Amino acid sequence: MAADVSTAGHASPAWLDTAGRRCLAEARKFTAARASEHFAGRAEGTVAETALPEFVAGGKCLRPLFAYVGWCCGRTESDAALRAAASLELLHCFALAQDDVMDQSPMRRGRPALQARFAHWHAGQGWRGSARRFGDSAAILAGDLFLVWSEQMLRGSGLDPATLARGWPHYDRMRAELAVGQLADLVGDARALPSWETVLDVLRRKSGNYTVRRPLEFGAALAGCGAATLDRLGEFGGLVGEAFQLRDDLLGVFGDAAVTGKPDGQDLRERKASSVVVLAAQMADRHQRATLADLNALGEIDDDAVARWRALITSTGARDRMEELIRERTEKAIAAIGVAVVPGHALGLLTELATRCTERDL
């Protein structure tokens, strides 16, 4: 299975596609085995036994790829390291399952979100109590299982204890930062309109670190990379992570439902104080600010309101400014690494990953 990364040469996209598919297959296989162990033949497992592996199967394995490329900065390819990297996809499933409950997001990956699937099951059984509350609770528990299974998959990946020991501090920090970052996000959303600095800080800590920087450091640490390399990879990862989240926030406002798998303008509908929303408020002139306030005061944000809000954000110049911020960060990130820092093949993979993260389609 494991062709050495050095033979991939300049074929980084193909190598990444293959590695991503293999990570996803491993994460799905592990989840299916656990789900079968705990749910097969049990009434409460009727939906969970199939819904959990399906949920995993919809992933893009971005975090595992950063971790595995991190590993390739210090070692040759390894099936065990690939499984260790793939465990981060289950950590991501944990985050998505619970975030969707907290944000009451109806869709995920083009399908009903997990809590909606569980709520639908409840409603169909004619059970007593609120189907929504049941769905929320069941999805929280599914998230808990993903959190447990991620660590279990990592520990059982086949890496020896000494190798794993180098990764645990990074893994533990990543897990805790994820929960703490989500709390910071909730607080940010609760505030009338957070400052741009606060938004950038949360974005860096919650999404940037978690999506790019920590997985990359984790993989490189597992591979035994030294402190100097970890520092440079950390700088690269921090910048790419920020650019990734800025792009994600643009998609949350301007993204196409067919591409994002979520309703058009979802962040507007949920009134999320995302980076582009806060930036637009800051760049708006007096007239634009009044229109923004009118939109915010609407009882429901319908398709028409989304269209008007989008046009207004664009007219403030915030959309162009976001593109500039993304470009600046990506360029600075790529400049932070070089063949003096990581092997040439890993450099190609990192550059390709940075591009994929930050130039996703609107």
- Chain residues binding a second copy by CB under 8 A are 34, 37-39, 42-45, 48, 94, 98, 101-102, 122, 125, 127-129, 133-134, 137-138, 140-141, 143-145, 147-149, 151-152, 155, 161, 168, 172, 175-177, 179-180, 182-184, 186-187, 189-192
327 in Cβ contact with 357 (< 8 Å): no
Shortest Å, Cβ 230 to a second copy: 19
Q: Tokens representing 134? A: 């049941």
Give the span between the Cα atoms of 178 and 183, in whole angstroms.
9
**Identity of the amino acid at 166:** R
Residue 184 vs 239, nearer CB to a second copy: 184
| 111 beta partners | 108
Smallest gap from residue 271 Cβ to a second copy (A): 8
Give the C-alpha separation, 115 to 87, whole Å. 23
Question: 280, 318 in Cβ contact below 8 A?
Answer: yes
Considering beta carbons, is residue 39 or 244 the nearer one to a second copy? Answer: 39
Alpha helices, DSSP H, located in 191-302: 196-202, 214-222, 227-254, 257-260, 266-269, 275-283, 286-296
Q: Which is nearer to a second copy, 151 or 235 (CB)?
A: 151
> What is the smallest separation between the CB atom of 97 and a second copy, expressed in angstroms?
11
**Which residue number, 186 or 259, has a Cβ lying nearer to a second copy?**
186
Residue with tokens 């049941």: 134
Structural contact between residues 157 and 101, judged by C-beta atoms closer than 8 angstroms: no
Residue pair 253/268 in contact (Cβ under 8 Å)? The answer is yes
Nearer to a second copy by Cβ, of 118 and 254: the residue is: 118
- Count Cα atoms within 13 angstroms, Cβ side, for 343: 18
- List the structure tokens of 121: 């099951």
Neighbour tally for 109: CB within 10 Å: 16
Closest contact distance (angstroms) between CB of 322 and a second copy is 24
For the bound state, the minimum distance from the C-beta of residue 280 to a second copy, rounded and expressed in Å, comes to 18
**Structural tokens at position 100:** 């969707």
User: Tokens standing for 323?
Assistant: 């593109």
Nearer Cβ to a second copy (165/257): 165
Indicate the residue among 7 and 46 with the shorter CB distance to a second copy: 46
Residues 6+ apart with CB under 8 A from 96: 55, 108, 143
**In the complex, minimum distance from the CB of residue 98 to a second copy, in angstroms, rounded to a whole number:** 6
Closer CB to a second copy, residue 21 or residue 42? 42
Token pair of 352, please? Answer: 């390709």
Taking the complex as a whole, the smallest distance from the CB of residue 239 to a second copy amounts, in Å, to 22
Question: In the complex, what is the shortest distance from the CB of residue 131 to a second copy, in angstroms, rounded to a whole number?
Answer: 9
Q: Supply φ then ψ for residue 108, to 5 degrees.
A: -150, 125
